[in-house]
Amino acid sequence: MKIGIIGTGNIAQFLLEEISKSKNGNLHIVSIFGRNQEVGNELATMYGVTFFEDIDLFLASCIDVVVEAATVEVVRNLASKIVIAGKHLVVSSVGAFADGEFYRELEQLANQHNTEIYVPSGAIGGIDIIKSANALGELRNVSIVTRKSPQSLSMEVEEETVVFEGSASEAIKQFPKNINVSIVLSLAGIGEEKTNVTIIADPQTTKNTHTIEAEGEFGRFQLQVENEPMKRNPKTSALAALSILSVLQNTGSRVKIGS
């Protein structure tokens, strides 16, 4: 499978490094698209890929799947173009799907052009349980409490502070780079308006912690995940990058584990 990456930042560099040294001969990153010409050319030289600044030339290259590793705005601006070009799409900035109309339009385009859109689980777990619990629409309550350092939230506080309480749709508007996990959770469950989010800035923590709770006809569920932040970017959990790598490794697999 030939992969193209949109973005030249931390996740893109992580994927380039890990896939280049992987023994999985089915995965090959061949193209990168971005705006940072200097970094893009450095990555192209280092990993033997082609760097593009023109999205049409990028999509015309010999790629099967595009990994978006950029921003919510990039997803909104380019996702439709990628799908129409017949490329499968892995979405990192899932906050774009807080816009339900955009999500439904993209889903319709994917059906029309026989392409697949992958939404990695990101920095949380329990997505299979949430999906299974809601298989008959009997999931009642879903919530997530996220605890991060003030630095990763781009703020300064001297003591543990609740900086947000509300719906997933409002959380992603206020923290578009920090709470993508809430949108993943809402897509798997009862929607962004009904998924409750609490964000805590804690000067004492060095990890990104997510506690998920759900309740319904199936019973009750609670899961806590403590993530190490990426070394190059404390706003992103290492598990978020690993979940994208996992999606790529499992694409095309004849044996599917989990829902």
Find the catalytic residue in 28, 88, 113, 210.
Answer: 210
140 vs 220: CA distance, rounded Å: 10
- Max Cα-Cα span within the chain: 55
Distance from first CA to last CA of the chain, Å, rounded?
23
Q: Which residues contact 225 (CB under 8 A, 6 or more apart)?
A: 123, 124, 125, 209, 210, 211, 212, 239
Specify whether 210 is catalytic: yes
Residues 120 and 90 sit within 8 Å (Cβ to Cβ): yes
Q: Helix, strand, coil shares of the chain as percentages rounded to 5?
A: 40, 25, 35
73 vs 93: CA distance, rounded Å: 9
- Residues catalogued as catalytic: 210
